[in-house]
């Protein structure tokens, strides 16, 4: 009987502990709205943290070089490419809102997202370097000032100077941009692809030049990324034009 009584006491204590644990750690209902929001917030916070860490690590790795001067190729490239990208984002945004072609819309969306992100990176550099985002002189001076001293990846004079309209390589005129809004949708799609191919080609020439002219690793790294991604998009857009019975010019 003593053994039996002892067994009952042990069982009772065990059940009490289980009940306490159940009360202290209640299970959240599955699929609850609150838990879903929490997961989304955690995911966003994690993404922001990863992007921030990558940027800081890249910049720290480049800390063995001196801070670029106001007249440096790195600063000039960042300022000019911000403006160059801004026009690309503008054209892509116009066509993204007008096109009825899913493939054209996807290309436009990718350009908006990619180039907006890269503009943010370059603005971040200028802030870290203590330099103004806006330039004080004319575009492309950072290329012209060093062109005689370097072989700029086989680039021509047209690749290193503004054109007769004062535009950087590959940039569209205001009249051409206006056409993206006024032409019938299918014609606007074709014009967008043609203009963006030229725009990318101009951006690639600027990226090639800065790789030859800068000792800033983060700048050269982004330039290499621009060359690779925009060349890939040029190939895609050329194929899209051919499918639509149009040429790149």
What pLDDT does residue 146 have?
A: 59
Percent of the chain with pLDDT over 90: 60
CA 94-248-181 angle, to 5 degrees, is: 20
Residues 162, 46 share a domain:
no
Residues 48, 103 share a domain:
no
Residue 55's pLDDT band (boundaries 50, 70, 90)? low
What pLDDT does residue 9 have?
A: 44
- Domains contained in the chain, number: 2
What pLDDT does residue 106 have?
A: 98
Residue 106 lies in a domain: yes
What pLDDT does residue 52 have?
A: 45
pLDDT digits (tens, 9 = 90+) for 134-177: 988 889 989 876 555 555 666 777 787 888 889 999 999 999 99
Residue 94 lies in a domain: yes
Residue 107 lies in a domain: yes
Phi, psi of 215 (to 5 degrees): -110, 10
Region 72-89: mean pLDDT is: 97
Last residue of a domain, one of 23, 44, 61: 61
Region 230-243: mean pLDDT is: 98
Residue 24's pLDDT band (boundaries 50, 70, 90)? very low
pTM beyond 0.85: no
What pLDDT does residue 145 have?
A: 60
Residues 203, 237 share a domain:
yes
What pLDDT does residue 81 have?
A: 98
Residue 170 lies in a domain: yes
What pLDDT does residue 144 have?
A: 75
CA 104-106-107 angle, to 5 degrees, is: 65
Residue 2 lies in a domain: no
Phi, psi of 7 (to 5 degrees): -65, -40
What pLDDT does residue 104 have?
A: 98
Residues 74, 189 share a domain:
yes
Residues 180, 122 share a domain:
yes
Residue 169 lies in a domain: yes
Dihedral sign computed on CA atoms, order 177, 183, 187, 189? positive
What residues make up the domain containing 237?
A: 67-243
Residues 163, 92 share a domain:
yes
Residue 3 lies in a domain: no
Residue 36's pLDDT band (boundaries 50, 70, 90)? very low
Residues 176, 72 share a domain:
yes
For the chain, the average pLDDT equals: 81
Residue 25 lies in a domain: no
Burial tier of 70 (Cβ tally within 10 Å: 0-12, 13-18, 19+): middle
What pLDDT does residue 221 have?
A: 97
- Using the predicted structure, report yes or no on whether residue 68 has a pLDDT greater than 80: yes
Residues 86, 55 share a domain:
no
Residues 151, 36 share a domain:
no
Residues 72, 52 share a domain:
no
Residue recorded with tokens 């047209």: 158
Residues 146, 177 share a domain:
yes
């Amino acid at each position: 009987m003593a053994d039996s009584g002892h067994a009952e006491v042990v069982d009772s204590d065990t059940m009490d502990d289980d009940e306490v644990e159940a009360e202290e750690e209640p299970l959240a209902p599955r699929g609850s709205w609150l838990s879903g929001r929490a997961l989304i917030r955690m995911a966003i916070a994690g993404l922001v943290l990863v992007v921030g860490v990558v940027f800081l690590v890249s910049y720290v790795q480049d800390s063995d070089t001196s801070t670029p001067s106001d007249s440096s190729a790195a600063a000039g490239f960042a300022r000019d490419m911000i403006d160059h990208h801004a026009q690309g984002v503008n054209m892509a945004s116009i066509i993204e809102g007008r096109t009825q072609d899913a493939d054209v819309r996807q290309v436009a969306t990718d350009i908006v997202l990619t180039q907006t992100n890269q503009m943010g990176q370059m603005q971040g550099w200028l802030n870290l370097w203590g330099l103004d985002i806006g330039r004080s002189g004319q575009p492309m001076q950072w290329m012209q000032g060093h062109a005689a001293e370097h072989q700029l990846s086989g680039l021509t004079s047209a690749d290193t100077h503004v054109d007769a309209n004062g535009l950087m390589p590959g940039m569209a005129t205001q009249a051409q941009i206006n056409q993206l809004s006024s032409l019938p949708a299918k014609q606007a799609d074709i014009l967008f692809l043609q203009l963006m191919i030229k725009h990318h080609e101009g951006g690639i020439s600027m990226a090639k030049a800065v790789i030859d002219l800068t000792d800033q690793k983060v700048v050269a790294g982004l330039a290499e990324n621009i060359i690779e991604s925009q060349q890939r998009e040029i190939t895609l857009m050329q194929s899209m034009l051919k499918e639509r019975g149009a040429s790149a010019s």
